Chain A
Amino acid sequence: MESAVTLADMGFDVALVEKEASIGGKMILLSKVFPTLDCSSCISTPKMAAVANHPRITLFTYSNVKSVKRDAHGFRVRVVSRNSYVDPQKCTGCSQCETVCTVARPDQFNDGMIARRAIYIPFPQSVPKKAVIEKKGLSPCSQACPAGIRAHGIVSLARAGKFREAAKRHLEDSPFPAALSCLCYAPCENRCTKGKTKKGAPIPIKGVSSLMANGYYGSNDQVAIKTAPDAPEKRVAVMDAGPAGLSAAYHLALNGYEVTVFTKDSAPGGILAEGVPEAGLSRELVAREIDNVIGAGVIIDTDTSMTPEEAGRRGFAAALAPVPWNPDLVMDPVVKDGIVTYPELVDRPYLLAHAIGWGRRAAVMVQALVEKRNSEDALVLVPALKREKIPAKDPHYTVATKLSEENVQEAVSGCLDCGVCSECRQCVEVCPGGAIDLAMKPSTCEIDTDSVVLATGFRLFDPARKPLLGYSRYPNVITAMQMDRLLAPTRPYNALLRPSDGKIPGNIAFVLCTGSRDVNAGNPRCSRICCMYSIKQAQLIMGALPISEVTIYYIDIRAFGKGYDEFFQQAEGMGTHFVKGKVVRVEEVKDQNLRVHFEDMEGKGGLRQANHDLVVLSVGAISNPGIVKVLGDDRVEQDELSYIREVDGTVEPGRTSVDGIFVAGAASGPKDIPDSVVHAGAASAQAASYLIRTGALK
């Protein structure tokens, strides 16, 4: 941010690319900052606002640089904006979507200590304050459904206790929730990742659907009937009152078509008309489901024969008809001469989902035909079916497990949320700005620049790599970043608690040099920041919990900056215990307390132990070299620890091995905030000087 604002202030146009959904980096997540104990937000937010409002800065958040290629004029940078499924122009950051979202994920901005939603605004001070959806394709269960039902959405809604909403969500995709929950052979459960785990059983999606559908019909009176729209140019004849025909009619009617279903029979329903008692599907339930179709505005003409030719003569814009099942039949609707055909089910009620899927696909093809447009995009919703995926013979009805509302939530609580967003569409409905579009595509743009500044910062050492310290084994061993979150004004629990039992910790230990000054951890260097942030946290803890004891295990206290040693002396004065000693092992003892084994370097010497109820690992900084890969032929040199190397660390700060590419801040080596900011200023000066020398400044 500092580089961008400084360069923009000098009169250069700047594109700032950030991979997260908000700018602010690690600093905005901190509680307070040393040595002044300024609130971190108070310092970061004006800078963030300055970036966002600067007329010369174009901000790309939630975006990745894919490539940087040198050309005759400078560099061509390809930026891919990740798909957020939210139109930032329309999103006002009101957070209503977050309150209805049914999928929880570990909140990366709280170091995983609490959950956020699949749709989320990164944190309260985000810039821009726009929601994004985390979505990794379709979940396997949703993808497996031949009818295009978003099974994951149903499950996540049920998990949230929203059974009515789940039924409504189902009805967006098919009018037959009850029939499917009885008849379907449930390929969704087959594909469920949970069922593929060692001890896991698949989520009982059929059972959930059954409860949902029965509950819905039980509590709902007759469906309100929508009158058929009067749309002569969108008049369609369906010569099939079976599931496929009704599904097609239903979807067409929902899309504003005037649909008439013709059948020779005296009642609609085809093979479902009489119910399927052996599968638990009663006639009454079928009637309710057919009411869904009628309710959508479909006219059903019973005891009537109709042919496509006759329909054409009567002025229907398109006609749908089934063709008898045969072994060579194409397993997908086929369009020919204004007529859409699809396989007839005959005696295969277990293929109900396929029939519904064919009906949906047929509806899309009819729409494309009538409205003379491409159907490809819409067809993606319900993928075509491969013949080999169709069960060769009747797989027998597996009657859905009977679940009550109470135990269904337990049953679905194990859902792994494979695709993250479940497409339950609760956010779409609640968004007052109509900003959410689950069909959105990621966008790519190419930026021509004269110079590139790399300000990609650092990563924190993963303490799981030091197994003896107990992180990831003992709940009360946390990282300093987690402690900073616990202390921040936007903290996760609104109190300083230890994770295992929510107890207020009374005796806290800090283990300095976790992953720093440690050849075995691959980082022989000092990380420069850990002593100071630990001392800061010690002071904040003593302010928040005055009776707590805080012990800092250190090798050397490196309080070297302006006002830092005074800050260290202040912490000593407040009563923080400083123990010179390398911690070798942390083990859990009674009540999930922890015993710290350390080499006592002062005092008596030798190996000693001390008990604490919370251990904070002051993790070091390591390089974050990912960006180097996208530089292609202009790959900048890196040092032994993969930080971006400055060619002349003494007189040419910020200059890399590649002309025109500069490095700012901790990307060239760990730095505290003041040093990073000053370094960013220097890198800007280098870039500006380069731009002027090469004649890029207009």
Chain B
Amino acid sequence: MTAADRLRDDILLLKRRRQLYTAGILVFLLAIMVGGYDQANDMNSGSFLKGLEKFFDYPGEIVAEAWAAGADFPGLLLRFLPALIETLNIAAVATILGGLGAMVFAFLGARNLNIWPPLVPVSRRLMDVMRAFPELIVALFLIYVLGSSPVPAMIAVAFHTAGALGKQFSEVNENIDTRAVEGLGACGASWLQRMRFGVLPQVLPNYLSYFMLRFEINVRASAILGFVGAGGIGTELRRTIGWGQGSGDETAALFVLLVLSIFLIDQLSSWMCQQVARTEAMA
């Protein structure tokens, strides 16, 4: 047997083994899907096949009632605008405060910036723990202590945001080109000046895009937290849905407002990122 033959056999063996692994993984995933859906269907209070027939009933009912409301529909949108603004405020304040916290964590937790080495692991673990807290838990606890108000939701979302954005920010910080910082250091720039002129210009565009993405996520999260008593659009939704039939027009108005605001934020963030990219290209 020549060396080439042996090589060919090796390659074929490797290939066969890979195919086996791939097939194994696919079978495993398939088993999870089939078994999981079967199990989930058993645990559910309604069954899938019966539900499938009714799937369009509820959306249909909402649309029909909104259609029946006709000319009053824009008035409904206007009536729920304060609730939407409250939800947007919760998300915006939480993103700003959480973002500021995240920046502190990110600078302390970046291995390449050497701000205070003992703090690097502390800051990273702290971010991990804050990220792991589902907003729901913090919100429920704070609602119990502070009463029903937007503030508990805001704090809960900000808490999670500080951890989640902090991780993304610190990854950005670790990927910067340190030559700019070293150059500034060589001409005698202070630590603050090195950060201001060497690091910030490199990281801000990425920070901005993560920040806007997080804002969109937080709007969704704040809307959901309304269901447990945090105020805003979620609280209104729980009310109108609890009333059942007849309030479909109000539910539809709330859905429209929520979807519209998420769409607008999405457009705004991509526009802002394009603007920043254009300024970068000119500079």
Genuine A/B complex: no
A residues in contact (CB < 8 Å) with B: none
